[in-house]
Amino acid sequence: MPADDPIRELALAALDADAQARALLTPGGTPARISFADLYRYANDPDFVLSPECAARLAADDAAQADLARLLTVGAFAHMPRQAAAASGSVVRRETERAVLSLTSSRAAADEVYLGVELRDADARPPTHLFAGRAGQAWLRLALPPFSGGHAQVLLNAEADIARALADPETEVYLR
């Protein structure tokens, strides 16, 4: 079989390609990334909890953060964008056509705040969780309690990341 025989060339190219494919499937030294399947579950299933390992991968991966940011826009119950540039101080109320979010200090404990979620349409299928995030920072997720009459309320530590994020005008929020 001459060296330039097309059958020989194709056969040997196939062996080279097969070796390359197997090499690519062999684990390398690069840090693992979070899978899109996990991101999807994280965005849509309030019962799904990211393992600490996956959470660290997500936090360290700009591309995955961008994927999550786009995923959150898909099928969201309501989107509350970051406040106008003029806004300053802390935000206590965010409104959209579908829901109102409010932060109220607890009278019983100064270091606690109530997050209230009110649906404009009390009969609408209620959201189960919210995501809050600032540009360049990891998204935070909070599971919402069951709604009653279009209302739900959660008690948060005022110093918790999620409470601080919700009070920050630079934060955008998705109800899902």
Partner 1 sequence: MATALENLTLEEGKSEALRAALACVAESSSADGGPRYSEKVCRELARSIVCRSYAKPLLELSHLLVVASVRGGRYEDVFWGVSRASAGEFRRSFMALDGMRDDVLIGENAVSHEDGDGFQISYTRMPFLAALLEFMIMTVGYPAVDDMTGALRQPGAGAEKALEAARVMQRRLYAYLKDHLPPVQRQRRERHFLGFADKHAGNRTGADAINDEVVLEYWQTYAASKEIEARTFRAVYDTARRLISVIDAAEERLSGTHAKSIGTDVDAGEVDPADLDVVVCALDDDEGPLARLLETCGDRIKFVNRIEAETLSELPLGEATARRIPVSVLRNAVFGAAQLRMSTALRRGDAPIGSLPSPADPFYRERLETYAEVIETTEKLALASLWSLHQAALPEALDLALELAPDIDWGRLAPMDGGDDIGGAVVSLAAVAALKQFYAAGPDAKGDEVAALLADARRAWRGVNRAGFRGGLDDADLDIMALAVKDAMRLIRAVRRTLDRDLRGIDWPAFEAGDSAAFAAAFEALYERDETEESDAG
Please give the residue ranges that form the binding site for partner 1 (CB under 8 A). Answer: 1, 4, 6-38, 40-41, 44, 63, 66-67, 70-71, 74-75
Distance CA 152, CA 144 (A): 7
* Residue number with CB closer to partner 1 (94 or 139): 139
Q: How far is the CB of 168 from partner 1 (least distance, A)?
A: 24
Q: How far is the CB of 174 from partner 1 (least distance, A)?
A: 15
* Residue number with CB closer to partner 1 (44 or 153): 44
Q: How far is the CB of 129 from partner 1 (least distance, A)?
A: 17
Bridge partners (DSSP) of residue 131 are: 141, 174
Q: How far is the CB of 5 from partner 1 (least distance, A)?
A: 9
Mapping DSSP to helix (H, G, I), strand (E, B) and coil, where does residue 94 land? strand
In the block, which residue shows the tokens 């190219």?
A: 13
* Residue number with CB closer to partner 1 (34 or 162): 34
Q: How far is the CB of 85 from partner 1 (least distance, A)?
A: 25
* Residue number with CB closer to partner 1 (57 or 94): 57
* Residue number with CB closer to partner 1 (73 or 105): 73
Distance CA 16, CA 10 (A): 10
DSSP string, 97-153: SSEEEEEEE-SS-TTEEEEEEEESSTTSPPP-EEEEE-TTS--EEEEPPPPBTTEEE
- φ, ψ of residue 51 in degrees (nearest 5): -65, 155
